């Protein structure tokens, strides 16, 4: 009898053990719902009204010049310039070869200037390249910041093209066959009022910087601004946002967990993310840096300006993007706000990310408000004996209003001194007011 009871009890224990094991294997926890019922594993990681961009969207020239009869001029209309550039990238290129910079003939040519050195393999992906050159160019990583396209034929009845690295002093040549460049640009060479004349001054490195001969009249641009969702950026930058700790001090808010920290400014207009690492840093190639950064920002629809963000600077695993408004970059946000997007990568990891948490949504029409910017000749006294890398007209940022946020973009002259990453306004010398 006792043996019979032991068998029954043992059988029950085995059965209970099997049921518990089955329950553990098949158990599915119920997660707390956020964002109107969506489970936390599907937390929002896309910025509202943000978009994705391609390589050809972010890589744009900052200047397109014609050189003819010892004149240097651009088109006054940025829309015309943009349309011409969109045509140029479709012109068929072949026969890419390394050449000496000394062979470049700039007379009777179009010069395209980029704000940063772009790997030729990346830049070429935005152009139309055929034949064997299409395969060869993928291995060419020289950083290109300047292109010359001749609009007169060479002895072989082709048009010469030169991709130039001003930093290294080297160049690649290409040719345009089976396309009439002269005819394509003829309408731009008429000497009409649609042109803007330039002259050049040499920077600290002996490279020409082109400045407008005459005063430039540009609009003052007010935009209705909209705040971005801080929680979305928290979900993007932290692996488990529910465990992130939140603290506030002196108006700033800090989110942190383990080695990750996100700092949000007062009024939630700007953020800075840092991931602290002790691993040895390997410098990324520019090609890899552009690809990683573009993919990362696209993943959360991080391009959030009414105007376009363009790649503006690359240095030591750091990449900067700035808003361009009708061909002019937004170069200063003052102490209150910067509209620049900056990322720093270490190996495969994003270790720093700075960006605005506001979006320029709706331009407020105000056609009567313009500034007359000093001509290039008039600013020469202010740059005399200065060690500068570049000088250009750009926009500064002013904040108007608190409840309904209005961002004002005002044109001014800016200078970048040798050895500095940031631009400075030529204070009180930006306009004729």
Q: What is the pTM of this model?
A: 0.86
pLDDT for 10: 57
Band the pLDDT of 43: cuts 50, 70, 90: very low
pLDDT tens digits, one per residue of 114-164: 999 999 999 999 999 988 888 888 888 899 999 999 999 988 899 999 999
DSSP of 345-392: EETTEEEEEEEESEEEEEE---TT-EEEEPPHHHHHHHHTT--EEEEE
pLDDT for 428: 54
pLDDT tens digits, one per residue of 363-397: 776 657 889 999 999 999 999 889 999 999 999 99
In this predicted structure, which of 17-31, 39-53, 164-178, 277-291 has the lowest mean pLDDT? 17-31
Task: Express the helix, strand and coil content of the chain in percent, nearest 5 each.
Answer: 25, 40, 35
Q: How far apart are the two ends of the chain, measured CA to CA in Å?
A: 110
Give the 3-state secondary structure of residue 115: strand
In this predicted structure, which of 205-214, 351-360, 361-370, 394-403 has the lowest mean pLDDT? 361-370
For 243, which DSSP code? G
pLDDT for 192: 66
For 156, which DSSP code? T
Evaluate whether 358 touches 305 at the Cβ level (below 8 Å): no
Can you give the residue ranges of every domain in the chain?
1-52+215-433, 61-214
The burial of 47, by beta-carbon neighbours within 10 Å (0-12 exposed, 13-18 middle, 19 or more buried), is given as buried
From the list 197, 146, 195, 203, the residue with the least C-alpha distance to 170 is: 146
Fold (CATH) for 1-52+215-433: TATA-Binding Protein (3.30.310)
Contacts of 106 by beta carbon, 8 Å cutoff, 6+ apart: 67, 148
Band the pLDDT of 429: cuts 50, 70, 90: very low
In this predicted structure, which of 55-59, 222-226, 320-324 has the lowest mean pLDDT? 222-226
Band the pLDDT of 32: cuts 50, 70, 90: very low
């Amino acid at each position: 009898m006792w043996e019979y009871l032991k068998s029954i009890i043992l059988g029950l224990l085995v059965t209970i053990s099997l049921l518990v094991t089955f329950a553990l294997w098949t158990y599915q926890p119920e997660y707390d719902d956020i964002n109107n019922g969506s489970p936390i594993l599907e937390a929002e990681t896309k910025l509202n009204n943000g978009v994705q961009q391609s390589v050809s969207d972010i890589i744009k020239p900052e200047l397109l010049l014609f050189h003819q009869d010892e004149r240097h001029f651009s088109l006054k209309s940025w829309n015309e310039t943009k349309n011409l550039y969109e045509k140029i990238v479709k012109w068929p290129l072949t026969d890419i070869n390394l050449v000496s910079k000394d062979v470049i003939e700039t007379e009777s040519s179009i010069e395209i200037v980029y704000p940063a050195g772009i790997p030729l393999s990346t830049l070429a992906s935005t152009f139309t390249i055929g034949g064997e050159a299409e395969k060869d160019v993928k291995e060419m990583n020289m950083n290109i910041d300047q292109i010359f396209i001749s609009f007169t034929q060479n002895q072989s009845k082709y048009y010469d093209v030169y991709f130039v690295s001003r930093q290294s002093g080297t160049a690649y040549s290409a040719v345009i066959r089976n396309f009439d460049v002269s005819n394509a640009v003829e309408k731009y060479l008429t000497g009409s009022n649609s042109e803007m004349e330039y002259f050049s001054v040499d920077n600290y490195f002996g490279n020409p910087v082109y400045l407008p001969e005459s005063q430039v009249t540009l609009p003052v641009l007010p935009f209705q601004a909209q705040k971005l969702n801080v929680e979305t950026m928290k979900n993007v930058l932290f692996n488990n946002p529910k465990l992130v700790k939140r603290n506030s001090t002196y108006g700033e808010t800090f989110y942190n967990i383990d080695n990750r920290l996100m700092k949000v400014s007062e009024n939630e207009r700007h953020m800075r993310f840092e991931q602290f690492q002790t691993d040895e840093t390997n410098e990324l190639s520019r090609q890899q840096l552009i690809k990683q950064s573009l993919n990362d920002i696209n993943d959360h629809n991080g391009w959030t300006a009414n105007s376009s963000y363009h790649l503006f600077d690359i240095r030591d695993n750091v990449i900067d993007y700035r808003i361009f408004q009708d061909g002019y970059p937004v170069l200063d946000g003052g102490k209150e706000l910067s509209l620049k997007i900056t990322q720093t990568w270490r190996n495969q990891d994003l270790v720093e990310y700075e960006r605005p948490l506001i979006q320029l949504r709706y331009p407020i029409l105000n056609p009567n408000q313009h500034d007359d910017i000093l001509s290039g000749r008039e600013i020469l006294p202010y740059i005399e004996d200065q060690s500068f890398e570049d000088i250009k007209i750009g926009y500064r940022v002013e904040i108007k209003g608190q409840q309904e946020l209005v961002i004002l973009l005002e044109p001014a002259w800016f200078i970048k001194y040798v050895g500095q990453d940031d631009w400075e306004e030529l204070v009180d010398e930006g306009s004729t007011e």
